[in-house]
């Protein structure tokens, strides 16, 4: 994760006073740490990843940072199987940073999870600067473009593109 993206996540979590956050794509825990830094001390990060090794690395990173175990909930599995089991309207922020091919489906499920005023954040939204180039028609670029279109056209969302890292698409649930 690029430093600017991490800083933006910290600010978004703090500005929204996010106590309940869902992260789709745990990775090594870097984005989770940025989110936790912006959350109040009683906030809980629920992080989902299909790779158990990613979650192990993230737990280690959280422990090294001094994050209490009660502040994180790691769920191993496919996010498309896990997200439907989470409570509607119960989350303050949902961060999507996982497999590009599922971005449109993740965004659809994320909106359902957000409370009014909750924040959606989608990483890699400029996809190596390919999204803005209409000549780029590869599958990944097309899916990221489709995700942006879905967010922009959803009347429940108020979106903006932050030009940090590889693009951070953010939206507030109306």
pLDDT in tens, the chain (174 residues): 888 999 999 999 999 999 999 999 999 999 999 999 999 999 999 999 999 999 999 999 999 999 999 999 999 999 999 999 999 999 999 999 999 999 999 999 999 999 999 999 999 999 999 999 999 999 999 999 999 999 999 999 999 999 999 999 999 999
What pLDDT shows up at residue 1?
83
Whether domain 3-173 has CATH 3.40.50.150: the reply is: yes
Q: CA 47, CA 23: separation in Å to the nearest integer? A: 5
Q: CA 74, CA 54: separation in Å to the nearest integer? A: 10
> Token pair of 155, please?
């009347």
In this structure, the chain runs to a length of 174
Three-state secondary structure string covering 136-159: CCCHHHHHHHHHHHHHHHCCCEEE
* Contact status, residue 120 vs residue 146, Cβ threshold 8 Å: no
Domain regions of the chain by residue span = 3-173
């Amino acid at each position: 994760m690029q430093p600017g993206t991490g800083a933006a996540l910290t600010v978004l979590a703090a500005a929204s006073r996010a106590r309940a956050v869902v992260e789709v794509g745990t990775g090594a825990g870097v984005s989770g740490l940025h989110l936790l830094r912006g959350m109040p001390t009683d906030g809980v990060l629920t992080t989902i990843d299909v790779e158990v090794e990613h979650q192990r690395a993230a737990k280690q990173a959280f422990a090294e940072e001094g994050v209490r175990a009660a502040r994180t909930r790691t769920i191993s599995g496919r996010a498309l199987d896990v997200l439907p089991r989470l409570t509607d309207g119960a989350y303050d922020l949902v961060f999507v940073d996982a497999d590009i091919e599922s971005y449109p489906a993740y965004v659809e499920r994320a909106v359902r999870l957000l409370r009014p005023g909750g924040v959606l954040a989608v990483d890699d939204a400029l996809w190596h600067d390919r999204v803005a180039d209409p000549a780029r028609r590869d599958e990944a670029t097309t899916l990221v473009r489709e995700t942006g279109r879905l967010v922009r056209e959803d009347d429940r969302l108020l979106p903006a593109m932050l030009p940090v890292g590889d693009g951070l698409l953010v939206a507030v649930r109306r």
